[in-house]
A and B are shown apart, each in its own frame.
Chain A
Amino acid sequence: MKIVVCVKQIQNPEIPPVQFRVDEEKKAVIPVSGLSPVLSPYDEQAVEAALRIRDAAGEGSDIEITVVTIAPAGARAGIKAALALGADNAVLLSEPTFDGSGGYVTARNLAETIRAIGDVDLILTGRQAADWDAGVVGLGIAEILDIPAITFACDVQVTDGVVTVQRVLEDGIETVEADLPALVTISNELGKVRYASMRETMRAAKKPIRDWSPEDIGLDEAQVGFKAVRHVLERLYIPINDIECEYIEGDTAAEMAASLARRLREAELV
């Protein structure tokens, strides 16, 4: 069985807000210098979901896990991280640095990459990339490939050509199944991701990475990069909402609590 996990490498989404800056003129994020890119956390959990499926199948299973990414040429940090977790091999589609929020081009090109890999049974993606937070690409791939998609998974199992997913609802959990091939998007409720072991990290260096260009998979110029983009980024900015905080003083916790309760009453909040 072939599992493809689509991953994206991004700037660490948990940097202190003061470090996050944008160039409003260029409408782009100013990368924090000296910071190495990370796998988008939901994508990392998608890799984990694939590994759990392979673990459940036991030793000697025929499950092959391929990670796929679209990134500028040479951007291999994300792929390396996924291989070190235990994925078997990788495909890097080098695109003229497209990174926008529309998701349209990304979904198209990932779908074509997956078609080119061939005979893929299960596709896993994060529920959204933790940079643009759009949550469009996974569902887009499924629509383009005309396969069923199940979103916001916290548990994924495969038996006899059927994927069974526990998915998160606002007020509970739902179990959904679909015949393969299918696509599943992974939510953070999937839980902890394993650590990359020393052994696996060493092995990862030798795992095959296929470096594809758009032409390799039959995409022409009009289908890649900025030419294919259908949305316009009109503006990118950091909202300012600092407000003056009034600190409640007191020598003891009881005093502070009493003083806060008074303030809340004065403000008619309680």
Chain B
Amino acid sequence: MTENINGVLVFVEMVDNQPVELGLEMLGLARRISDSHGGTVTAVVFGTNLEGVGDNLIAYGADQVLINDNVIFDNFHAEAWLPDLSKIVAEVAPAIVLIGHSLSGTDLAPRLAFRLDIDVATGCESIEIVNGRPHMTRSCFGGLAREVVTFNKTPAVATIRSKTQQALTPMMERAGEFKFVSSILDLNSLRSRVIKREREKTVGVKLESAKIVISGGLGLGGPEGFNTLNEIAELVDGAVGASRAACDLDWCPRSYQVGLTGRTVAPELYLAVGISGASHHMAGCGNAKTIVSINSDPAAAIFKSSRFGIVGNCQEVMPALVEEIKKLKA
């Protein structure tokens, strides 16, 4: 039996009053750690109208759920969330704090670590307990390397990359308890103010939950190249992504960016069209089950991660592929 640790705290982000998938994936990781190394799994949620979330998170692996239900937590604002989260982490005193490697999570986790004078590993892909110490494996150098780090102080804070962990199958009969906690936030203490929020409406399937993602890069030759991608996405119920280079040129919305600093996807099928396969891009799609790429350069790095490849001009292949898929669907 390996040495025991003091439990895992998981900060579960909510969107539209539902826990995000990454939150459930992290609960799966926390459960597996606790099952073999002891300690309890505490889920922490901030938001409004959170009825039902307690039972839900218990079903996904939490032993204890702390719910901070308050209108001020309707939208993420790191500075406002920090006092409550710091207090909860200090009180629960777990061995590990897991936070999603989303834009909010990466905004929150380093602040939490410095406020509590502990350390943080961002963008982790796995955590193993060795001799009672959490060993965190994270991607670095634009996805080219992995480092394994441990910390001398506890708790260790880790942000976890989406799609690297498996959520448990929910079991409604799992035992656990939830309780509401009250906020200690003094609104007058806030030094930053959110003035305005403009959200893009997602049409069709969300990138992260799509089973098929079709992504385009500079090889598309221009914004009109995205038309065939959109057509295929519509035919197969997929979503469209892009390389950063394509986003930088405004060929598509910013929110399409897949990669190190964009979305992380792990679909059944990732179709990379005119994308070279830079490590920064692969950091966001490397966990796809099957990658298929179309690129005119036989030496393109993307083929190294692809199951199927077409060496050819995507501007000719894609319209033909649309027709073929139409036939399949007919």
List chain A positions with a Cβ less than 8 A from chain B. Answer: 13-14, 16-17, 20, 22, 27, 29, 101-104, 107, 127-128, 130-136, 139-140, 142-144, 147-152, 164, 168-179, 182, 187-189, 191, 230-239, 241-243, 245-248, 253-254, 256-258, 260-261, 263-265, 267, 269-270
Asked if residues A257 and B321 are in contact (CB atoms below 8 Å), the reply is yes
With A and B bound together, what is the CA distance between A265 and B326 in angstroms? Answer: 12
Among A20, A168, A182, A247, point to the contact of B144 (Cβ < 8 A): A20
Asked if residues A131 and B306 are in contact (CB atoms below 8 Å), the reply is no
Once A132-B140, A236-B146 are accepted as A-B contacts, the answer to whether A151 and B78 lie under 8 Å apart by CB is: yes
Asked if residues A241 and B305 are in contact (CB atoms below 8 Å), the reply is yes
Counting from the closest, the 4 A-B pairs by CB-CB distance are A257-B320, A261-B324, A253-B316, A143-B114
Asked if residues A243 and B191 are in contact (CB atoms below 8 Å), the reply is no
Among B78, B212, B254, point to the contact of A189 (Cβ < 8 A): B254
Cβ contacts B81-109/A at 8 Å (1 or 0 each)? 00000000000000000000011001100
With A and B bound together, what is the CA distance between A41 and B109 in angstroms? Answer: 23
| Chain A nearest CB, measured from B2 CB (Å) | 16
Interface residues of B in 306-328 (CB under 8 A from A): 306-313, 316-318, 320-321, 323-325, 327-328
With A and B bound together, what is the CA distance between A135 and B159 in angstroms? Answer: 11
Chain A residue at minimum C-beta to C-beta distance from B324: A261
CB<8 Å pairs between A and B, sample of 5: A131-B141, A136-B113, A175-B194, A245-B308, A246-B307
Once A243-B305, A245-B303 are accepted as A-B contacts, the answer to whether A270 and B212 lie under 8 Å apart by CB is: yes
With A and B bound together, what is the CA distance between A36 and B21 in angstroms? Answer: 42
Cβ contacts B250-276/A at 8 Å (1 or 0 each)? 000011000011010000110000000
Asked if residues B261 and A187 are in contact (CB atoms below 8 Å), the reply is yes
Cβ contacts B217-241/A at 8 Å (1 or 0 each)? 0000000000000000000100000
Once A230-B153, A231-B149, A261-B324 are accepted as A-B contacts, the answer to whether A139 and B141 lie under 8 Å apart by CB is: no
Among A20, A127, A247, A267, point to the contact of B310 (Cβ < 8 A): A247
List A contacts of B263 (CB < 8 A). 170
- Asked if B19 is at the interface of the complex by the 8 Å CB criterion, the answer is no
Asked if residues B144 and A174 are in contact (CB atoms below 8 Å), the reply is no
- Asked if B120 is at the interface of the complex by the 8 Å CB criterion, the answer is yes
| Chain A nearest CB, measured from B193 CB (Å) | 5
Once A101-B147, A236-B147 are accepted as A-B contacts, the answer to whether A256 and B310 lie under 8 Å apart by CB is: yes
- Asked if B216 is at the interface of the complex by the 8 Å CB criterion, the answer is no
With A and B bound together, what is the CA distance between A115 and B122 in angstroms? Answer: 27
With A and B bound together, what is the CA distance between A17 and B280 in angstroms? Answer: 11
Once A22-B145, A188-B261, A269-B212 are accepted as A-B contacts, the answer to whether A152 and B328 lie under 8 Å apart by CB is: no
List A contacts of B325 (CB < 8 A). 261, 270
- Asked if B39 is at the interface of the complex by the 8 Å CB criterion, the answer is no
Interface residues of B in 126-150 (CB under 8 A from A): 135, 138-142, 144-150
Chain A residue at minimum C-beta to C-beta distance from B238: A270
List chain B positions with a Cβ less than 8 A from chain A. Answer: 78-79, 102-103, 106-107, 110-111, 113-115, 119-123, 135, 138-142, 144-153, 191-200, 202, 212, 236, 244, 248, 254-255, 260-261, 263, 268-269, 278-280, 286, 290, 292, 301, 303-313, 316-318, 320-321, 323-325, 327-328
Asked if residues B150 and A143 are in contact (CB atoms below 8 Å), the reply is no
List A contacts of B278 (CB < 8 A). 14
Asked if residues B111 and A149 are in contact (CB atoms below 8 Å), the reply is yes
| Chain B nearest CB, measured from A132 CB (Å) | 5
Other than the known A143-B115, A236-B148, what 8 A-B pairs have Cβ atoms closer than 8 Å? Answer: A27-B147, A131-B140, A173-B198, A231-B151, A238-B146, A247-B309, A257-B317, A261-B328
Once A247-B309, A253-B320 are accepted as A-B contacts, the answer to whether A178 and B192 lie under 8 Å apart by CB is: yes
Among B111, B199, B244, point to the contact of A171 (Cβ < 8 A): B199
Among A103, A136, A245, A258, point to the contact of B309 (Cβ < 8 A): A245
List B contacts of A253 (CB < 8 A). 312-313, 316-317, 320
Asked if residues A175 and B195 are in contact (CB atoms below 8 Å), the reply is yes
Asked if residues B147 and A245 are in contact (CB atoms below 8 Å), the reply is no
With A and B bound together, what is the CA distance between A114 and B238 in angstroms? Answer: 49
Asked if residues A257 and B151 are in contact (CB atoms below 8 Å), the reply is no
List B contacts of A29 (CB < 8 A). 141, 145
List A contacts of B310 (CB < 8 A). 247-248, 256, 260
List B contacts of A130 (CB < 8 A). 142
With A and B bound together, what is the CA distance between A133 and B244 in angstroms? Answer: 16
Asked if residues A178 and B193 are in contact (CB atoms below 8 Å), the reply is yes
Asked if residues B305 and A261 are in contact (CB atoms below 8 Å), the reply is no
Asked if residues A231 and B255 are in contact (CB atoms below 8 Å), the reply is no
